């Protein structure tokens, strides 16, 4: 016999000779028999392949402990890495929302609102029939300047094709920005032409004003609205995810805790020791990390949920209400300047104010009492809207009776103008308060969860070291 069988045969031969070397029927001593058996087993193991030897070792008690140690350590490290990845991604999303996404949405909102204000102010300036008031002239100029500044800010950032922006969205945004850049100067040129003719007493001034307002309503404002809608969606979409707890991390931690408990029970039965210091240390660390994650994660989710319900959503609705207010005011003033198109402009005013009522009413029902803008404050805003529509009804009645002087006074500087201004100021205050509330909540949510990801990774690494430190002494006992 040759090959790997030779050492086995030699060992068996030596064992047989040792057995015959005794006297008569006397058995070999127990210690010598065990040593020879161990030598025979080790000789057979050495003759096997590495894979077979590893398979044989894995079935032994020390092999099982080594396997448990490796699996537990890797599970802890992977769980720590996964937790850090998920939580850091949430932190970065919250930080980006405050630093970039929300300011872009604010810039788009200011652009949209300023263009609406400019149109309403330009139309209102023609109520005097001659030289417009300095207040309206200043309001129009400031609105155009603000819109231009916001357009520069929006275009400078919106046209950066980031990984979150799809190719279609990037193309549409670029097209809308180009529409605004081309048509805003055209609009201001038409307004200046209308203003010049109005000062000279030429009736054609109202025609130029009508063309300018049509350009604003049909091309400029829709493009600004699309930009604003995309920016609002960029805030709302991540919040849907951020308002949901990180269930995957919780599930991974639960699996690790169950594995640590099972290992502790296995060691207690195998080694006759009730506790293992390393396993208990790792279990305590993971439990502490889980409590920390539950507290910070659920708190961050609750704050983000509040930022969405009491900040982002009211901000979008109030912005929409303010823009509708500007459009209603533009229709109101233009209906007096262009007296031949009363029905269409009156319909625009009525539809806009009804939409404002519905928007504010729905928002009033959904807001909490501790929100930045309370339901009581929205009730006051709706009262201001009712007063404005009542004043507009008086102006329309005066126009129908032929008292254009009275109607001009009501719309230009009287009750309608004052109540419109009060409503606009109230909406501006609501927009400012909800925006500050939104940013405060997002900042708080970011700070609450900010270091949890790094902390969970450190805790997981510590627990892996504790597992190794607790199992290595038990493994050495088998040598």
Quick: pLDDT tens for 91-119: 888 888 888 888 888 888 888 888 888 88
Provide the sign of the torsion angle of the four alpha carbons 317, 230, 148, 333, taken in this order: negative
Q: Give the confidence band of 2 by pLDDT, cuts at 50, 70, 90.
A: very low
Q: Which of 12-16, 124-128, 145-149, 226-230 has the lowest mean pLDDT?
A: 12-16
CB 306 within 8 A of CB 443: no
Q: What percent of the chain has pLDDT over 70?
A: 80
| 40 or 372, greater pLDDT | 372
**Closest among 331, 154, 139, 298 to 225, alpha carbons compared:** 154
**Of 159 and 379, more confident:** 379
- At residue 160, does pLDDT exceed 60? no
The number of angstroms, rounded, from the C-alpha of 187 to the middle of its chain's C-alpha atoms is 37
- Binned at pLDDT 50, 70 and 90, residue 170 comes out as confident
In angstroms, rounded to a whole number, what is the distance separating the alpha carbons of residues 122 and 130?
Answer: 13
Residue 42 banded pLDDT, cuts 50, 70, 90: low
Neighbours of 39 (CB within 10 A): 13
> What tokens were used for 316?
């979008």
- pLDDT reported for residue 383: 92
- C-alpha to C-alpha distance for 220 and 9, rounded to whole angstroms: 97
What does the domain layout of the chain look like in residue ranges?
5-47, 63-473
Whether pLDDT at 238 is above 90: no
86-100, 229-243, 431-445: the lowest-pLDDT one:
229-243
pTM summary value: 0.74
Distance of alpha carbon 272 from alpha carbon 342, whole angstroms: 95
Residues 437 and 210: their CA atoms lie apart, in Å, by: 40
A 10 A CB-CB count for 205 gives 20
Which is nearest to 423 in space by CA: 393, 381, 392? Answer: 381
pLDDT (0 to 100) of residue 459: 94
pLDDT at position 135 is 78
Q: Provide the pLDDT for residue 37.
A: 65
Length of the chain: 479
Using a 10 angstrom Cβ sphere, with 0-12 exposed, 13-18 middle and 19 or more buried, the burial of residue 105 is: buried
Q: CB 416: neighbour CB atoms within 10 A?
A: 26
**Averaged pLDDT of the chain:** 80
Taking the C-alpha atoms of residue 358 and residue 352, their distance in angstroms, rounded to an integer, is 10
- How far apart CA 215 and CA 298 sit, in angstroms, is 49
């Amino acid at each position: 016999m040759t090959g790997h069988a030779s050492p086995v045969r030699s060992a068996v031969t030596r064992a047989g000779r040792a057995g015959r070397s005794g006297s008569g029927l006397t058995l070999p001593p127990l210690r010598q028999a065990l040593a020879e058996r161990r030598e025979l087993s080790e000789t057979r193991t050495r003759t096997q392949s590495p894979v077979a030897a590893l398979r044989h070792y894995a079935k032994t008690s020390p092999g099982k402990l080594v396997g448990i140690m490796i699996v537990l350590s890797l599970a802890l490290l992977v769980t720590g890495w996964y937790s850090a990845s998920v939580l850091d991604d949430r932190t970065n999303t919250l930080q980006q929302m405050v630093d970039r996404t929300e300011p872009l949405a604010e810039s788009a909102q200011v652009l949209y609102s300023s263009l609406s204000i400019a149109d309403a102010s330009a139309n209102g300036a023609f109520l005097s029939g001659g030289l417009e008031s300095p207040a309206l002239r200043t309001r129009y100029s400031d609105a155009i300047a603000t819109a231009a500044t916001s357009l520069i800010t929006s275009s400078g950032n919106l046209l950066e094709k980031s990984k979150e922006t799809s190719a279609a969205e990037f193309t549409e945004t670029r097209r809308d920005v180009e529409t605004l850049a081309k048509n805003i100067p055209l609009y201001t040129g038409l307004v200046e032409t209308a203003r010049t003719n109005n000062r000279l007493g030429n009736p054609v001034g109202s025609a130029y004003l009508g063309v300018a307002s049509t350009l604003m309503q049909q091309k400029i404002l829709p493009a600004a609205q699309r930009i604003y809608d995309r920016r609002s969606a960029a805030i709302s979409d991540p919040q849907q995810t951020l308002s949901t707890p990180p269930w995957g991390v919780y599930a991974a931690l639960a699996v690790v805790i169950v594995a640590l408990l099972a290992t502790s029970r296995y060691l207690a039965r195998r080694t006759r020791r009730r506790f293992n210091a390393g396993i208990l240390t790792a279990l305590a660390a993971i439990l502490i990390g889980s409590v920390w994650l539950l507290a910070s994660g659920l708190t961050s989710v609750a704050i983000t949920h509040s930022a969405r319900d009491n900040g982002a959503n009211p901000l979008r609705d109030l912005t929409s209400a303010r823009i509708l207010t500007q459009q209603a005011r533009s229709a109101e003033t233009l209906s007096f300047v262009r007296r031949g198109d009363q029905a269409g402009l009156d319909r625009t005013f009525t539809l806009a104010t009804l939409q404002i009522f519905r928007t504010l009413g729905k928002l009033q029902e959904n807001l909490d009492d501790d929100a930045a803008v309370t339901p009581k404050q929205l009730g006051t805003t709706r009262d201001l809207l009712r007063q404005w529509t009542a004043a507009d009804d008086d102006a329309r009645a005066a126009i129908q009776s032929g008292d254009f002087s009275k109607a001009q006074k009501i719309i230009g500087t009287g009750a309608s103008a004052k109540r419109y201004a009060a409503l606009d100021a109230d909406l501006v205050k609501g927009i400012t308060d909800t925006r500050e509330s939104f940013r405060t909540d997002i900042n708080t949510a970011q700070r609450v969860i900010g270091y949890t990801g790094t902390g969970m990774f450190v805790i997981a690494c510590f627990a892996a070291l504790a597992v190794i430190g607790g199992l290595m002494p038990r493994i050495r006992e088998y040598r």
